[in-house]
Amino acid sequence: MTPDSWSMGIWPYLALILFGFLPSEVWRFLSIFVAHGVDEKSEVLEWVRAVATALLAGVVANILLTPAGALASVPLMARFAALALGLMVFALTRRSVVAGVATGEAAIVLAAWWFAP
């Protein structure tokens, strides 16, 4: 399977729908039946929301634990320190997401520049 075979005719589009779109979309589709009859204020919904929150935090931790590309050159401690710094500024600025993200970004760019290979 060379990259060449992916650029032929309709095949790249078809492969994307069959092996990319459908396996992903099936969960959105199934959620309609799961959500059916779930009340907006129910405890089940509260649990589901907590699961989604923990899951997303897990995604973030995984990205920082085993990052790709340029981020991997920044030491693990510095990655989490930048995250903590961003959260601290977020808390100090009365929950400003923009301020938190900007601070974390500045920290990571500086760290990447400092630890550049």
CB of 37 to another protein, least distance (A): 9
Give the per-residue contact string, 62-91, with another protein (x = CB under 8 A; - = no).
xxxx-xxxxx-xx----x--xx--xx--xx
CB of 103 to another protein, least distance (A): 9
* DSSP states along 81-108: HHHHHHHHHHHHTTS-HHHHHHHHHHHH
CA 4 to each of CA 7, 18, 20, 38: distance values in angstroms, whole numbers, following the listed order:
6, 19, 19, 48
CB of 52 to another protein, least distance (A): 4
- Binding residues among 22-51 for another protein as defined by CB under 8 A: 22-32, 34-35, 38-40, 43, 45-51
Residue 57 binds to another protein (criterion: CB under 8 A): yes
CB of 76 to another protein, least distance (A): 10
What's the gap between Cα 38 and its chain centre? 27
Count residues binding another protein (CB under 8 A): 82
d(CA 106, CA 89): 12
d(CA 63, CA 83): 12
The tally of CA atoms less than 13 A away on the side-chain side of residue 104 is 19
- Binding residues among 2-21 for another protein as defined by CB under 8 A: 2-4, 6-7, 12-13, 15-21
